[in-house]
Chain A
Amino acid sequence: MPLAALKFAIQINCSPTTSGTAHTAYQFVKTALILGHQVIRVFFYQEGVCHAVALNSPPDDELQLTQCWSALAADYNLDLVVCVSAAQRRGLLSVEEAQRRGRPDLAQDIAPGFRISGLGQLVEARLLAERFIVFH
């Protein structure tokens, strides 16, 4: 008998490459969506912001996590949020922020499907969710 649909909020702190956790997080979110659960938001924090780098270019026979997230976002209208302060610390700027800092040469660094916003988005997602999971 299938489980009743749940509302999830997900936080991802790990980078796409350091460990298998990033892949587990992606598989978890994808499976939850396929099973009909609701994923309110995936919030990328700390090294997790690295998932959103548009230029991530692994060889063809390796896991293409950034592209996987972009595709999942498109297929399920999934809200992928990158924390603005964590992103800035790690050199990931939005076009507007780059311009504000006098670096208009920086192209759009954020992969499709991701958006940059504040920690308030994490707080809101946690309040709306029935289950909150952090992937470290």
Chain B
Amino acid sequence: MPRFLFILNRLPHQGLALAELLDVLFTTAAFEQSVSLLFVDAGVLQLYSTQQPGSYGLKDTLAMFSALELYGVTEYYVEQESLHEYGLQLTDLQLKAMPIARSAVSELLQQFTHIY
């Protein structure tokens, strides 16, 4: 059975990259059974709960993450070292993500058949 992992490693609001990756993610979740997310490096900032993109006319990608649960996507990981590098706590994030140590990431990847 295919298992999809989407790795989110870049800043939000950098053109269309995040919105278009999320479109693929939502379509995958709508058709299939297993989608998980890993936030790493600058990607942890995609979940920063105080961002206000709407005031700049930008897409509210943070709100899109909140809709994931409706699609049965409930497994989100955030890399601990990345959180620390960006000065964030788990409580600064919009989603309840599971912290994972950098050293555990390779083993996590083994669980998936498709990695974006």
- Chain A residues packing against B (C-beta within 8 Å): 45-46, 85-86, 89, 118-120, 122-124, 126-127, 132, 134
Tell whether B16 is near chain A: CB-to-CB under 8 Å: yes
Complex Cα gap A8–B116 (Å): 16
**A134 pairs with B27, CB closer than 8 A:** no
- Among B16-45, those with CB < 8 Å from A are 16-17, 20, 23-24, 27-28, 31-32
**B32 pairs with A45, CB closer than 8 A:** no
Complex Cα gap A114–B114 (Å): 26
**B2 pairs with A122, CB closer than 8 A:** no
Complex Cα gap A134–B17 (Å): 14
With A45-B20, A122-B27 given, name 18 new contacts (CB 8 A).
A45-B24, A46-B20, A85-B23, A86-B16, A89-B16, A118-B27, A119-B27, A120-B27, A120-B31, A122-B24, A123-B27, A123-B28, A123-B31, A123-B32, A124-B31, A126-B2, A127-B2, A127-B31
- Give the shortest distance, in Å, between B115 (CB) and chain A (any CB): 10
What total of A-B pairs shows CB separation below 8 Å?
A: 29
**Interface residues of B, CB < 8 Å — how many?**
12
Given the known interface contacts A123-B27, A123-B28, the answer about A86 and B20 at a Cβ–Cβ threshold of 8 Å is: yes
Residue of A at shortest CB range from B113? Answer: A132
- Among B78-116, those with CB < 8 Å from A are 114, 116
Complex Cα gap A68–B10 (Å): 33
- Give the shortest distance, in Å, between A13 (CB) and chain B (any CB): 8
- Give the shortest distance, in Å, between A128 (CB) and chain B (any CB): 11
- Among B38-97, those with CB < 8 Å from A are none
Binary flags per residue of B1-19, CB closer than 8 Å to A gives 1, else 0: 0100000000000001100
**B116 pairs with A134, CB closer than 8 A:** yes
Task: Give the chain B neighbours of A89 by CB distance below 8 A.
Answer: 16
